[in-house]
Structure 1
């Protein structure tokens, strides 16, 4: 179901997107923005996020667009780094003057984007990041995915249910990874487990052998990890070389952590995923397979799909591209919006409070339900 993805060039991505708009209508399009990682450590995820954006945009325009005009999503590459992600958001605001921006993927990139957009009184839709710090961004920020305090409790309970009581954990040394380590440790201890050691790993290294050996010295029942796809491939390869995969491994956001990993090095891993398809998502799933000739490559394309669709619905409901009006419309829609990923409801802080999760494992190189 979910496997590695070929890198898509930014030029090709924009050509595919723009082709939809030119044929939609002669009218000036209504533009919104998106900042996603089309290069860097999470390029695999970003390319799949782009697919969700493409399908949603095509569907919106096939039904008349927004405010009687075609919808255009201006996609910018974050490069997977905070400075370039922030530059991309600035460009969308100062050059393109968009009222709303979708993005990014990593919490370390999403946070500065969100802070900037809120300061500029634009709407920010978070389609993937889970750091608890997102809750504090303020008016104008909306999260379409559950945050770490919910996800880590699910993971802790799932691991305890497997009979694993002594864990070690490794995650990126950024806002996302630090939140995962902190919240998982809290919930696992509360459930009766022990976290014997934890490491926040430096991003972008070519080896994590030292970190893995350090964790192995604690003699855990289970290795818990979360990693961006390219770094996950290094971690899984070196864990296999060190013989550490003889101990169970549990991936926090398993498709992200294993997307670029060799099937042999990730075989048998357990983990969780955000639900990638809801009760009403069958039509989207069919459209994805028809357009790209394969099943979902990651779990994240549906969240950018939902982001574009709910943004378009909010603009139409507002009857305006004014950010304040769009924000008010999003709050109304967020009382019960049926998306491809399930029902989306927002709490008082505009965070998704109805996030479903899936228990997954890797079998013959593919992620399957267990």
Structure 2
């Protein structure tokens, strides 16, 4: 398990123990493994947030620091990281992870330890049931699934087949999509929940095609998305439209030829307050966003810093109270963030995208 200390710079392998009297929080991200593209982009958002916070004076008179642990995309590793952050680094707040199936157990552990958890990238509706001390700066799947279903139906597809990972995220978003799509009068010809880590998904794709849908709906990330996109292309399934749930995530690790023309929805990841942030990102990292998730990591860190200053304390309970208060109306780079009674973002704007010349571009 690799630790990274963020304080405007990154130092590999450096213990955070020496900073116990300073303002230190924790993060768990998939910096390696199948979701490394998204995890690295989350890290970038956090780095920019730290630069902004510390340039403005830090928190409680100290520079803010983040001890970041690499989950490797594995639940056991993430739980070990959470335990280290609590028992060794003694942080009051932890942000992360990316995959819902990892975010949920680490959040449960953190809440048991009376720490605050900030969800910056997961969308399973199970997150809503975590309880006090758990907050999300990103919208959940009950909202995104319904948006996608309306979008697909409005596009003219009345029969669709759905493929998603067999985990908390995949199950949640497919259920939300199906419920809304059926309520509109649509038909789900088949739903395939695949096991992650396979070398091929041809059998699942053939099963998907058997019902002769008008359109394929899918969600995937990392090497699984790359394999699914390549094999669906090789099987000739791209003769019909493919709709990606979180399209940039679905296509980020795939060759352009396999995803050209795909449509889908994604997070509206830059609000009216985000133009300067986008410029700062592009200047620092010499290119455009590699996912839609960096801004939520940025907003999560900024929200925590504001809460620490408001609470005038690093006590988790005081920070929790401050987050709930600030979260009644907070303007982030991803747009307005309003936290409901469960600590969840109550409204999340989305975009409709299409892959053109290898890039996902907004169509509305």
TM-score of the aligned structures, taking structure 1 as reference length: 0.94
Match of 1:17 in 2: 9
Question: Deviation per CA, 1:134-166, whole angstroms, max 9, x where unpaired?
Answer: 011000000111111111000000000110010
Is this contact kept in 2: 1:28–1:69, CA < 8 A?
no
Q: Quote the Cα distance in structure 1 between the aligned partners of 2:198 and 2:5.
A: 28
Alignment match of 2:146 (pick from 128, 146, 153): 153
Q: Quote the Cα distance in structure 1 between the aligned partners of 2:254 and 2:205.
A: 16
Match of 1:120 in 2: 113
Match of 2:61 in 1: 68
Over 4 Å off, 4+ runs: 9-16
Match of 1:33 in 2: 26
Question: Deviation per CA, 1:43-80, whole angstroms, max 9, x where unpaired?
Answer: 01001111001010111011110001010011000110
Is this contact kept in 1: 2:8–2:51, CA < 8 A?
no
Q: 1:345 to 1:12 in 2, by over 3 A?
A: closer
Unaligned runs of 5+ in 2: none
Task: Please give the residue correspondences for 1:276-287 in structure 2 after superposition, counting only pairs within 5 Å.
Answer: 276-287=269-280
Is this contact kept in 1: 2:7–2:63, CA < 8 A?
no
Task: Please give the residue correspondences for 1:68-107 in structure 2 after superposition, counting only pairs within 5 Å.
Answer: 68-107=61-100
Task: Determine helix, strand or coil for the equivalent of 1:220.
Answer: coil
Alignment match of 1:217 (pick from 210, 214, 220): 210
Q: Quote the Cα distance in structure 2 between the aligned partners of 1:171 and 1:194.
A: 17
TM-score of the aligned structures, taking structure 2 as reference length: 0.95
Is this contact kept in 1: 2:219–2:244, CA < 8 A?
yes
Could you tell me how far 1:17 is from its partner in structure 2? 3.3
Unaligned runs of 5+ in 1: 1-8
Match of 2:237 in 1: 244
Task: Please give the residue correspondences for 1:181-330 in structure 2 after superposition, counting only pairs within 5 Å.
Answer: 181-330=174-323
Q: 1:160 to 1:345 in 2, by over 3 A?
A: same
Match of 2:324 in 1: 331
Match of 2:341 in 1: 348
Q: 1:241 to 1:149 in 2, by over 3 A?
A: same
Is this contact kept in 1: 2:6–2:66, CA < 8 A?
no
Question: Deviation per CA, 1:302-322, whole angstroms, max 9, x where unpaired?
Answer: 000001100000000000000
Q: 1:14 to 1:63 in 2, by over 3 A?
A: closer
Question: Deviation per CA, 1:95-116, whole angstroms, max 9, x where unpaired?
Answer: 1000000000000000001101
Is this contact kept in 1: 2:7–2:65, CA < 8 A?
no
Task: Determine helix, strand or coil for the equivalent of 1:361.
Answer: strand
Q: 1:68 to 1:330 in 2, by over 3 A?
A: same
Could you tell me how far 1:15 is from its partner in structure 2? 9.3
Could you tell me how far 1:10 is from its partner in structure 2? 5.8
Is this contact kept in 1: 2:226–2:251, CA < 8 A?
yes
Q: 1:202 to 1:162 in 2, by over 3 A?
A: same
Is this contact kept in 1: 2:7–2:66, CA < 8 A?
no
Q: Quote the Cα distance in structure 1 between the aligned partners of 2:64 and 2:141.
A: 32
Q: Quote the Cα distance in structure 2 between the aligned partners of 1:27 and 1:120.
A: 18
Q: Quote the Cα distance in structure 1 between the aligned partners of 2:26 and 2:53.
A: 15
Could you tell me how far 1:229 is from its partner in structure 2? 2.4
Aligned residues: 357
Q: Quote the Cα distance in structure 2 between the aligned partners of 1:147 and 1:185.
A: 15
